Amino acid sequence: NLRKVDPALPVPVETVTQVVDRIMAGRLGSEAPLAQQPIAGEFAPRPVQKVLIHARGCTAVKLVRKALEAELDVVLVQSDPDMDSVPADMVRAAGAAGTVVPIGGNTSDESYLNALSILNIAEAQQVDALHPGIGFLSETPNFAALVRQKGINFIGPKVMSMETMGNKSNAISTTMSINVPVVPGSHGIIDSSEKALEVAERVGYPILLKAVHGGGGKGIVKVARPEQLHQQFHQVTAEAKSAFGNGDIYIEKCVTSLRHIEAQILRDRFGHTRVIGLRDCSVQRNNQKLLEESGSTLLSEQLRSEVFACAAKIAEAVDYIGAGTVEFIYDVPSDAIYFMEMNTRLQVEHPVTEAVTGIDIVKQQFLIASGESVEHLTASETGYGLEVRVNAERCVIDGDGEVTFMPTPGKITKYQLPARDDVDLISMVDEGKTVSPFYDSLIIQIIIHGENRIDAIDRMRSYLETVVIEGVSTNISLVKRILSDEVFREGDYDTTYLPKFLNRIDVPALIDEIDEASGSRGDVVDLDSLRIEGSQELRVLSPSTGVFYRTPSPSEPEYVNVGSEVEVDEVLCVLEAMKMFAPFRLTSCAGASGALYPAGQRYRINRINVSNGQQVNEGDLLFVIEPLAAEPRP
C-alpha cells in the first residue's frame, strides 16, 4: 500500500524476525544494500484519444482548445470555485466530447494538489492520457510514476528526468558533469548557516540562497552582507519546508546585472532533440515574469549557438522526452551565459515561441506522447513575438513608502478583448465571471507577432488601448507605460528594470490610471460613512476580496480578540488572495483624503464579524471598533 503512494519506496531486504535477531545481536545497521523498487511504466507511448486535463485558468483554456482541435475527448478536473470557469464552459460546449469533473475544495491543497483524487477520476473516466498542465503536480516525479502505473499515458518526461532536473542541486551537478557553465556557488546542498558562511566568503557577496525545490519566484533570497546570512538562512529553510515540503538550500553567486534567457526544447523517445527558439524574460517583478519576448537579437550568434548546444546537451544527458525549457542567466558585463534551471513541463510563456516559429508546442506534446518523432521538425524564427501577462492586481504604496502590487479578485463587470489577426488571446475570464481569491493573479495572456521588436511593441501598445476590463483592477496601465518607456524600447536593461522603472515614474498617477480603468474611481469612503448610528462605534470594512485569517499560522495565537485595545498600525488579521498574504491594519484603510483612522488614536475591538478561514469580499464588515479616550497626562 505504501508503494502505491510512493513508487520509489525501497524494497524490503529483511524480514521482521531478521531485523529483531540482528539488533539483539548488537548489529544495529543492516549489511544488505537497499534495493530500489523498479518504477513501472517509465515511458510507454500510445495513441492519445481521451485526455484528462489537470489544469485551471489560462493553462486549462490553452490545453482544452488544443485537445479539442486534435479531436480528442476531454475530461477537465476543476475545483469548486472553478466549476463556472471559462475552460469549464469550453468543455461543456463540446457536448459528448467533453466532461467536467469536480474535485472539490477551494484551495490548491484541497483540490489540484490532491493526487489520489486526480488518479481516481482518471481511472473512473477511463482516460488513456493525462496532461499535468503547469504548476500543481506537473513536476512531481511520484505523481508521474503513479499515473503510469495505472496504465495511463503521462504527457511529460521520464520520472528519472524529472527527479534529476527538478532538484536544483542535482540539476547543477548534472550540467557540470557535461561541461555546461553554471553560476559559481555551493554546487550542492548547504546544511548549516556556518557552511553557508564559508561558501559565501569563497564566491563573494552578494549571494542567493535558493530552495532546492523552489520555483515561480518562491524560495529565493538575496544576501548582501555576512551579518544577514544566519537569519536569512534559517528563514529561507523554514519557508522552503513549508512551501515545498523540503527545506534543502543551496547557494549561488548573485549576478548583479543579468538577463533571463530560455531555450525551448522538444525531444522524442528516439533521441531526436530540437531546440526551437529562445525567449527573453527579463522584465520581472519579484522573480515573476511580466513580459516575454521571442526573436530577440540580444545574444551574439556565438552565444546563441552556445545556448542551443547547452540546452540540447542537457536534454540528451537526462534522456528527456517531451516539451521542456532550459533557463539561462546571461551575465551582461561578462557577456557569458550560465545554466540556471530546467523546467520539466510546459511554460506559461510558450505561446510567444509559437508566434515566431509556427510550431504548435502543445500539439507536439500530444504527438510525442503518442510515440511520434520530431526528426523532421524544423524551426526558424520569423519576425518578433511579444507576450504580456495580464494580472488581476492593483498598485499600492505601503506603509514604508514602497510600491507593491496586491491581488484583486472579484467579478468582471465589463470585458472587451477585440479579436485581431496579429493577436493570440488566452483568457480565463469573461463578463460576469469571477476571479477567485484562491489561486494566482494571471487572468489573460496576450501574444502579438510583429515584423521586428519595435513593431511588436507598437502593435501591443495599440491593442491594449482597445482592451476594457472593469470590476477588478489589472496591470494593463502599467504595461502600457512600460511599452512607451524609452529604456525598454531601446532594450538596454536587465532584470532590475521594473523596480527601477517604478522608482522613476509618477506612481500616484499610475494608481489613478489603474483605478479609473477598473471602473472603481468615485467609490469614496470617509469616517462618517463608517459610524454606527447611535453610538461611537465604527465599522472596519475589507479593502479587497480574500480569505480572512485571525492567526499567522494554526499553532499561533490570534492577532486580536474582542476587547483587545489596538493602535492603528497593529495587525488585526491577515487577508490571503491569490497566494499572497497581506497583514491588515487600520492603516490599510484609505479614504478620499488619506488615512481613515487617525494616527495616534487607540481603539477597542468590540466585535469580530468574520470566522477564521472565511472568504470575504471587498466592502464586507470585518470588525466593529470603538475609539478610546486619550489617557490623561500625568
The string of pLDDT tens digits covering residues 502-524 is 999 999 999 999 989 988 654 54
β partners of residue 51? 74, 129
- Is the per-residue pLDDT at 195 higher than 80? yes
**Cα 487 from Cα 177, distance rounded (Å):** 39
Supply the CATH number for residue 476's domain.
3.30.470.20
Most confident of the ranges 280-294, 387-401, 464-478, 601-615 = 464-478
394 in a structural domain: yes
Whether 37 shows a pLDDT value over 90: the answer reads no
Half-sphere exposure of 331 toward its Cβ, with a 13 Å CA cutoff?
16
Residues in the chain: 634
CA 249 to chain centre: 20
pLDDT given at position 184: 85
Is pLDDT at 467 greater than 80 in this prediction?
yes
Residues 300 and 363 in one domain: yes
Q: Is residue 173 part of a domain?
A: no
- Residue 353 pLDDT more than 50? yes
Asked if 61 and 147 sit in the same domain, the reply is yes
Q: Among the three residues 382, 397, 422, which one is the final residue of a domain in this structure?
A: 382
Closest among 375, 379, 374 to 356, alpha carbons compared: 379
For residue range 122-160, what is the model confidence (pLDDT) as tens digits? 999 999 999 999 989 999 999 999 999 999 999 999 999
206 and 221 assigned to the same domain: yes
CATH of the domain at 138: 3.40.50.20
Residue 439, judged by CB atoms within 10 A of its CB (0-12, 13-18, 19+), counts as buried
For residue 157, the SS3 value is coil
* Residue 534 and residue 478 share a domain: no
**What pLDDT, on a 0 to 100 scale, did the predictor assign at position 592?**
44
Here the CATH number for the domain that contains residue 216 is 3.30.1490.20
Please indicate, yes or no, if residue 175 is contained in any of the structural domains: no
Active-site positions read 345
- Note whether residue 258 is domain-resident: no
Q: How confident is the model at residue 267 (pLDDT cuts 50, 70, 90)?
A: very high
CB 252 within 8 A of CB 184: yes
Residue 571 and residue 220: Cα distance in Å, rounded?
A: 26
Are 219 and 243 contacting, i.e. CB atoms less than 8 angstroms apart? yes
In DSSP terms, 325 is beta-bridged to: 264, 343
Judgement on whether residues 478 and 582 belong to the same structural domain of the protein? no
In a domain, 634, yes or no: no
CATH number, position 546: 2.40.50.100
Q: Does 63 share its domain with 131?
A: yes
Are the CB atoms for 539 and 627 separated by under 8 Å? no
* Domain closes at, from 253, 277, 312: 253
Q: Cβ distance 542 to 622 under 8 Å?
A: yes
- Show the domain range for 609: 527-627
What pLDDT score was predicted for residue 5?
A: 47
Cβ atoms of 208 and 256 within 8 Å: the answer is no
Q: Which amino acid is at 101?
A: V
User: Is residue 176 in a domain?
Assistant: no
**Do residues 547 and 517 both lie within one domain?**
no
Residue 169 counted as domain residue: no
Arithmetic mean of pLDDT, 448-477: 97
**In this structure, are 326 and 371 located in the same domain?**
yes
Angle at 283 between CA 325 and CA 356, to 5 degrees: 50
**CB within 8 A of 27, min separation 6: which ones?**
none
Mean pLDDT of the region 419-437: 94
User: C-alpha distances in angstroms, 256 versus 222, 284, 293, 332, 341?
Assistant: 11, 15, 22, 9, 18
- Catalogue the long-range contacts made by 296-304 (C-beta closer than 8 Å, 24 or more residues apart): 296/384, 296/453, 297/453, 298/259, 298/261, 298/330, 298/491, 299/261, 299/330, 299/337, 300/335, 303/330, 303/335, 303/337, 304/278
**3-state secondary structure labels for all residues of 13-35:** CCCHHHHHHHHHCCCCCCCCCCE
Same domain, yes or no: 391 and 519: yes
Contact 296, 303 (CB under 8 A): no
Residues 18 and 31 in one domain: yes
* Residue 44: per-residue pLDDT: 73
**Are both 553 and 572 inside the same structural domain?**
yes
Q: What element of type H or E holds 259? A: strand 258-267
Q: Which three cell numbers stand for residue 177?
A: 558533469
Reported as a pLDDT band with limits 50, 70 and 90, residue 342 is: very high
Region 15-21 average pLDDT: 78
Domain boundary residue, one of 382, 410, 435: 382
Residue in 221, 341, 223, 211 with CA at minimum distance from that of residue 281: 341
**34 or 458: which leads in pLDDT:** 458
Q: What is the pLDDT of residue 33?
A: 53
Domain membership of residue 167 (yes or no) is no
Q: Backbone phi, then psi, for 367, in 5-degree steps?
A: -65, -45
Residue 237's pLDDT is 87
Distance between CA atoms of residues 567 and 310, nearest Å: 57
Q: Which helix (H) or strand (E) holds 384?
A: strand 384-391
Local confidence band at 41 (pLDDT 50, 70, 90 cut-offs): very low
Q: How confident is the model at residue 634 (pLDDT cuts 50, 70, 90)?
A: low
Average pLDDT (72-101) is 97
Domain count across the chain? 6
Same domain, 70 and 83: yes
* 19-33, 281-295, 337-351, 355-369: least confident range: 19-33
User: What pairs with residue 411 in β-bridges?
Assistant: 434
